[in-house]
């Protein structure tokens, strides 16, 4: 039997959730105009990528990732995005967190 991977691509930021969703709304707005993404949004009951973004504290992100693993996600394709005045530090912090998690589930 063939084994299939389930690999969602989602925006991820280790940052204040409200601020991060505002940034995600702007940064990923173009996806709202693409038919295939609109179908995903409709199926998930959301209006934008910002609502699907994985944002928050370390414990928030870990809880979300464990939930995705429990739903059958086998890998994640994170679209790490910067939040705040120091974009490089924001990206580094999120990437380091994801790297130290290793496997979830």
Cα of first residue to Cα of last residue in the chain, in angstroms, is 23
- DSSP-derived letter for residue 34 is S
Residue 21, SS3 per DSSP: helix
Q: Strands 54-56 and 9-14, how do they pair? A: parallel
Q: Is the pLDDT of residue 22 over 70?
A: yes
Domain hosting 18: range is 9-101
Average pLDDT over residues 2-30: 91
Q: How many domains does the chain have?
A: 1
pLDDT digits (tens, 9 = 90+) for 51-65: 999 999 999 999 999
Percent of the chain with pLDDT over 70: 95
- DSSP-derived letter for residue 78 is E
pLDDT of the residue at 105: 43
Kindly state whether residue 43 falls inside one of the protein's structural domains: yes
Percent of the chain with pLDDT over 90: 74
Alpha helices in 29-86 (DSSP H): 35-44, 49-52, 58-70
pLDDT digits (tens, 9 = 90+) for 63-88: 999 998 898 888 889 999 999 999 99
Distance CA(3)–CA(45), nearest Å, equals 29
């Amino acid at each position: 039997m063939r084994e299939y991977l389930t690999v969602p691509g989602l925006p991820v930021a280790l940052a204040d959730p409200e601020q991060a969703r505002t940034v995600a709304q702007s940064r990923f707005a173009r996806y709202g105009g693409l038919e295939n993404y609109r179908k995903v949004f409709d199926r998930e009951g959301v209006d934008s990528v910002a609502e699907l973004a994985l944002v928050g504290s370390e414990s928030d992100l870990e809880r979300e990732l464990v939930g995705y693993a429990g739903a059958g996600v086998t890998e994640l394709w994170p679209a790490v995005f910067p939040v705040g005045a120091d974009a490089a530090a924001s990206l580094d912090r999120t990437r380091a967190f994801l790297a130290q998690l290793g496997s979830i589930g």
